[in-house]
Structure 1
Amino acid sequence: MAMASRCLIQRPYITQFLSSLIVNLPCLFILIVLFFSFHLVLLLFLACLLVFYLLYLFLGSSISPFLSLSLSLSLSLSLSLSLSLSLSLLFNHIFRLCKWTPTMNTATMDNSTEPSMDRIVAEHIHERAMSTIFLNEKLMKGPPRFREADLKDPRLRHCAFDPETIVFEARIGGGKDGYVWRVKFGDEGPFVLKVFWDQVPPIKAGDYYSMQRECQNAAILQMMEAAVATKPVLVNARPETKQAAIWNYLSFSEENCSPRYTRDLSEAVAGPRTRLISSLPRMTKCYGWLKLPNEIWIDLPPHLQAVNEDPRKLRTLFENHMGCVAVIYELVEEGENEIDTVEDVDTFLWHAGFAYAVDPHPKNWKSGVLVDHSEIVHIRGYKWNMEDYIGRTAEQILEGDGAE
């Protein structure tokens, strides 16, 4: 870890050196051109002198040998001096670049206008994650595909309900990520409709995209459900590294579902450090995503209007003329959170490669079901980290003081 820290500290200096080298390339190029041009001229002079001396030998010129020898020595000396001077200038310039050392003034480094390498890397990771597509235009009909490529690129399918038939029945509440209503679609329902304040990815590195996270999580859980419905999935029962979490996660793919096991296989088949998953604990069912026009939110009666202390979040709904994406979930009624039920859900999430994005909060659990999918992040999701990838007890979850 110490060596890794040293490498991270030195990276900005390497970057600045390379930048300095690039900036000085024109100067180096000019020096090299002058060097070769000057010596080309000297070589021409020497050639002329050689011709002159040959004429003297063969034609008996009246120029004395002493004068010819003096000219030869003078030109040779000039050539040597100019060569030495040019080389010293050239190598001195390169040496100054190579031996360049940045100042270690802490105040200068902290207030530098140039971003550090760590910041550049963080911004690149964030930009790449935020540009990931997470919506699928296909209607949600039947189980999804669960190939490895699908697990590596999870996309939530489009809701099959007709948005023209939506009826808002009541407000459920809201928070940091969005607002939630109780709705029906014609005679079907009731359901939960969640609309997100952030309809576009956040720009600041470190900020997650709640709509992306929830859609990806919902798509992954559907694929995992389809996988275990086909055949049991063998996973590492004690995943203590990121590699083990990735292995468990990809075990739910179509390619990795073991064909040796059949549906009637018992847990006894698994070894002491493995677990055979033949079913998922109850998870909040997702019915896909819909895009709803902003007129829907504007036309709602006052007692159904979304509320938030930040007026900018409300403007997202009222002023978004492109429409707002919302996700439809099953309505989980209020009920007691049984310790064993919560423990089963937590253990499954751990074995499936999910980490908690924030400290678990009791309000996000109803009847032993996790109803807020922005509380977890999958192994390939933005801001998954090893520190939050730990199994928790139900007591820790239900008595926690998680972030709002």
Structure 2
Amino acid sequence: MAGPGTSPSFWEREFHNVKLAKPASIPFLSDELMDGLPPDCSFKAFKRPQLRRCPFNLETIDWPRSRRIDGGLDGSILKIYFQGSDIPYCLKIFWDPEAGFGGVAQFAVERECINASVLQKMETSVEEAVTGSSPPILINPNPKTKEDAIDNIYGFSREGRQAGLSSLSKVDYEPMSVTSMPRMRKCYGWVKIDAHSLLEGWPRRVRPSPVQVGKFRRSFQPGREYFAIVYEWIEEEDNDPATVQAVDTFLYRAGFCHQAGSHVDNWKGGVLLDLSDYVYVFARWWRRMFYEPREVDNILQPHDQR
């Protein structure tokens, strides 16, 4: 997620005169609890991914050990602990309660929920294929078009694994068997938080502060409910370029295109922190012009080079 020091010119370039996001034509949230059961890996579920609800109770957050980290264009980050546990988590609270709110084009929580849901499905598919409980995942290692990307998504699905290459009308490439998946940040699902908690209820030192990102002032407003996602907390660690490149290549083959910009602060230890950096092929922001693997130097850019 972009931090408060983000160059205004970048965000103004990205979002100036961009048509505001319309309300999602498909739901991106599921009321089903993320209770340890594997996600639905049918092709239908891959086409309309929904992130399941977080089972954690936010009323049991251990506030003395929790703290506010920072805020950017998409939302505000807290490092939290739950009572009786020494495991830290990331709570990412999104500024926008609905699409198009505040004049920002992208609806970040929708993109992140979609991506987190899809990556969970892919992780399950790879595990099933590797353990032999399903046929292998066969994909095109060098997809070029949206149709190629969708074919690769089908290869991850339950139906695609069962059908193999026989389901495709034309195969003019040497198929690749997916036997592993790069380390991705674990997601524990979505929650909703009322504005009273954010503005008055929580201890003052952890309440998200307004930020200015370019021409956009981002803050929480009274009387609304806001989306948040609970993620694994990733500690500070240098990025290994080869690891970052492997993640980018996997996401490209898995049907994700880049959004326009990315930067080094969105990665720690080779783990992608901001899922909004990539766009899923069935999401409405997917663009063919950004569908290609990138050199690692173009992924790990400092703010002033974007």
- For normalisation by structure 1, the TM-score amounts to 0.62
Q: Structure 1 315/332 Cα, relative in aligned 2: closer, same or farther at 3 Å?
A: closer
5+ residue gaps, structure 2? 1-17, 130-135, 166-171
Identify the match of residue 82 of structure 2 among 155, 168, 185.
Answer: 185
After superposition, the CA RMSD in angstroms is 2.7
Letter in 1 for 2:154: L
Q: Could you tell me how far apart the structure 1 residues matched to 2:304 and 2:41 are?
A: 32
What is the CA deviation profile of residues 353-385 of structure 1, one whole-angstrom value per residue up to 9, with x for unaligned ones?
001113221110000000001111100112110
Letter in 2 for 1:140: M
Q: Structure 1 212/332 Cα, relative in aligned 2: closer, same or farther at 3 Å?
A: same
Q: Which residue of 1 aligns with 2:40?
A: 145
Q: Which residue of 2 aligns with 1:399?
A: 301
Q: Could you tell me how far apart the structure 2 residues matched to 1:274 and 1:303 are?
A: 53
Q: Which residue of 2 aligns with 1:3?
A: none
Q: Which residue of 2 aligns with 1:163?
A: 58
Identify the match of residue 209 of structure 2 among 281, 301, 307.
Answer: 307
Structure 1 SS opposite 2:160: coil
Structure 2 SS opposite 1:332: coil
Q: Which residue of 1 aligns with 2:146?
A: 242
Q: Which residue of 2 aligns with 1:233?
A: 137
Q: Which residue of 1 aligns with 2:223?
A: 320
Letter in 1 for 2:110: Q
Q: Could you tell me how far apart the structure 2 residues matched to 1:345 and 1:302 are?
A: 38
How many Å apart are 1:206 and its aligned residue?
A: 8.6
Contact 2:72 2:211 in 1 (8 A): no
Contact 1:139 1:158 in 2 (8 A): yes
Identify the match of residue 130 of structure 1 among 21, 24, 34.
Answer: 24
> Where does structure 1 differ by over 4 angstroms across 4 or more consecutive aligned residues?
203-206, 258-261, 400-404
Map residues 4-403 of structure 1 onto 2, 5 A cutoff: 127=22, 130-141=24-35, 142-168=37-63, 169-188=66-85, 189-202=87-100, 207-231=105-129, 232-258=136-162, 273-297=174-198, 298-310=200-212, 313-316=218-221, 319-321=222-224, 323-399=225-301, 401=303
Structure 2 SS opposite 1:256: helix
What is the CA deviation profile of residues 166-199 of structure 1, one whole-angstrom value per residue up to 9, with x for unaligned ones?
2341112110010010012222321000010001
Letter in 2 for 1:334: E
Query: What is the percentage of aligned positions where both structures have the same residue?
Result: 35
How many Å apart are 1:346 and its aligned residue?
A: 0.5
How many Å apart are 1:154 and its aligned residue?
A: 0.5
How many Å apart are 1:350 and its aligned residue?
A: 0.4
* Structure (1/2) with the larger strand percentage: 2
Structure 1 SS opposite 2:80: strand
How many Å apart are 1:260 and its aligned residue?
A: 7.1
User: How many matched pairs?
Assistant: 270
Q: Structure 1 309/159 Cα, relative in aligned 2: closer, same or farther at 3 Å?
A: closer
How many Å apart are 1:400 and its aligned residue?
A: 5.7
Q: Which residue of 1 aligns with 2:4?
A: none
Letter in 1 for 2:232: E
What is the CA deviation profile of residues 313-369 of structure 1, one whole-angstrom value per residue up to 9, with x for unaligned ones?
3233xx134x32210000011101111111110110000000111322111000000
How many Å apart are 1:227 and its aligned residue?
A: 0.8
5+ residue gaps, structure 1? 1-121, 262-270
Contact 1:360 1:402 in 2 (8 A): no
How many Å apart are 1:386 and its aligned residue?
A: 0.9
Structure 2 SS opposite 1:392: coil
Q: Structure 1 312/152 Cα, relative in aligned 2: closer, same or farther at 3 Å?
A: same
Larger radius of gyration: 1
Contact 1:358 1:376 in 2 (8 A): no
Q: Which residue of 2 aligns with 1:31?
A: none
Contact 2:138 2:164 in 1 (8 A): no
Letter in 2 for 1:250: Y
Higher relative contact order (Cα pairs below 8 Å, separated by 6+ residues): 2
Q: Could you tell me how far apart the structure 1 residues matched to 2:280 and 2:304 are?
A: 19
Contact 1:126 1:205 in 2 (8 A): no
Q: Could you tell me how far apart the structure 2 residues matched to 1:315 and 1:294 are?
A: 7
Q: Could you tell me how far apart the structure 1 residues matched to 2:126 and 2:239 are?
A: 25
Contact 2:245 2:296 in 1 (8 A): yes
Contact 1:361 1:402 in 2 (8 A): no
